[in-house]
């Protein structure tokens, strides 16, 4: 399975904490952002094995993607979702993946003064225009799950680390390993203005293969914009 670059995934895990970012939008009003076309999402789930290796897991990624699609459909009426865009050509699909990664990397750049200043790529623009549509919904899911053995080992390792840390620096924060982590990135692109109309991300210590976690995150993402 083709996945987003390792750099992008590493940045997700390093920079993100359990939180939801503020809404980043263009000057287009939410009431105008209708007739959304849902691009096939990208999901990358990693598994920490007993040897502490973080390995991209195709099976978990597929499950996460399926559950993400189901959860998105539950918000269909709230966000005016009317259609889907699925690319079957592998060459174009790979180009689309790189374009989406480019948009998300730029959207996360703190130097960007306005989300609407980021231009969408010609490929994304053409896919929407080919369907005579203006707005497209693009979602990326990244996360990890620890095996039971890995999680037990992390718990065991954390105890002496925390004791030593408190001895050296009293009151220092505790290292708490988590069994799973899910980061959800949601973007709405505007083919008429060739920019991004909406961007928000959220993360949670929960399994990216748990539908209730994904649904909770989508609710956090769209709250304050569509409802």
- Domain locations along the chain: 6-222
Tokens found for residue 149: 């053995």
pTM for this model (two decimals): 0.86
> Residue 181: exposed, middle, or buried by beta-carbon count in 10 A (0-12, 13-18, 19+)?
buried
pLDDT for the residue numbered 150: 87
Q: What is the mean pLDDT of the chain?
A: 88
pLDDT for the residue numbered 53: 82
pLDDT higher than 70, residue 39:
yes
* Residue-wise pLDDT tens digits, 139-166: 999 999 999 888 888 778 776 666 667 6
* Residue-wise pLDDT tens digits, 119-141: 999 999 999 999 999 999 999 99
The DSSP secondary structure of 10-36, one letter per residue, reads HHHHHH--S-BPPPEE-SS-GGG--SE
Instruction: Judge contact between 12 and 183, C-beta under 8 A.
Output: yes
Q: 10 Å Cβ neighbour count for 115?
A: 19
183 — phi, psi (to 5°)?
Answer: -120, 125
């Amino acid at each position: 399975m083709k996945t987003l670059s390792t750099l992008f995934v590493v940045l997700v895990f390093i920079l993100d904490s359990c939180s939801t970012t503020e809404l980043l939008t263009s000057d287009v009003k939410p009431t105008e952002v209708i007739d959304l076309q849902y691009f096939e999402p990208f999901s990358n789930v990693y598994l920490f094995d007993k040897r502490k290796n973080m390995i991209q897991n195709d099976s978990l990624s597929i499950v996460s993607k399926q559950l993400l699609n189901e959860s998105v459909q539950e918000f269909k009426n709230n966000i005016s979702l009317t259609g889907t865009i699925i690319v079957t050509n592998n060459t174009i699909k790979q180009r689309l993946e790189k374009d989406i990664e480019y948009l998300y990397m730029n959207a996360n750049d703190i130097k960007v003064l306005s989300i609407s200043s980021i231009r969408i790529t010609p490929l994304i623009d053409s896919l929407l225009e080919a369907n005579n549509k203006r707005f497209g919904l693009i979602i990326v899911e990244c996360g990890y799950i620890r095996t039971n053995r890995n999680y037990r080992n992390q718990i065991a390792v954390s105890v002496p680390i925390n004791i030593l840390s408190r001895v050296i620096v009293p009151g220092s924060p505790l290292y708490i390993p988590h069994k799973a982590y899910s980061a959800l990135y949601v973007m709405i692109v505007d083919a008429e203005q060739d920019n991004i109309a909406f961007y928000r991300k959220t993360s949670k210590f929960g399994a990216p293969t748990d539908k209730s976690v994904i649904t909770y995150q989508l609710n956090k993402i769209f709250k304050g914009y569509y409802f």
